[in-house]
Amino acid sequence: MGEKLSKLASFLKEGRLKAGLSQKEVSEYLKYDTPQFVSNWERGIAAPPISILKKLADLYKISSEKLFEVVLAEEIRLTEENLRKKFKMSKA
């Protein structure tokens, strides 16, 4: 995910900024010891668990349906990318 920020990562960062929150404030709300988790989500290094996504939607005042659509699109993209790699590796 390094070359281009994922839509989910961008969406999460945009939501946090629109809500006027720092990564530290979000991490404290979620009871994390460090804002590194939030940073990793926003840089596309990791994705938050579904239970955390629901909390972020509430905190950022984002509709659950919109967040679901972004998460679904990201999962489809990652699955397609993974399958393409596997397909190329298994050429007979």
Per-position pLDDT tens, the chain of length 92 = 444 678 999 999 999 999 999 999 999 999 999 999 999 999 999 989 999 999 999 999 999 899 999 999 999 999 999 999 998 886 65
In a domain, 1, yes or no: no
Structurally, how many domains does the chain consist of? 1
In a domain, 60, yes or no: yes
**CATH number reported for the structural domain that contains residue 33 in this entry:** 1.10.260.40
In a domain, 2, yes or no: no
**What residues make up the domain containing 50?**
7-89
- List C-alpha distances in Å: 60 to 1, 22, 50, 55: 24, 11, 15, 9
Q: Which long-range contacts (CB under 8 A, 24 or more apart) does 12-17 make?
A: 12/41, 12/42, 12/48, 12/56, 13/42, 15/56, 15/60, 15/62, 16/42, 16/60
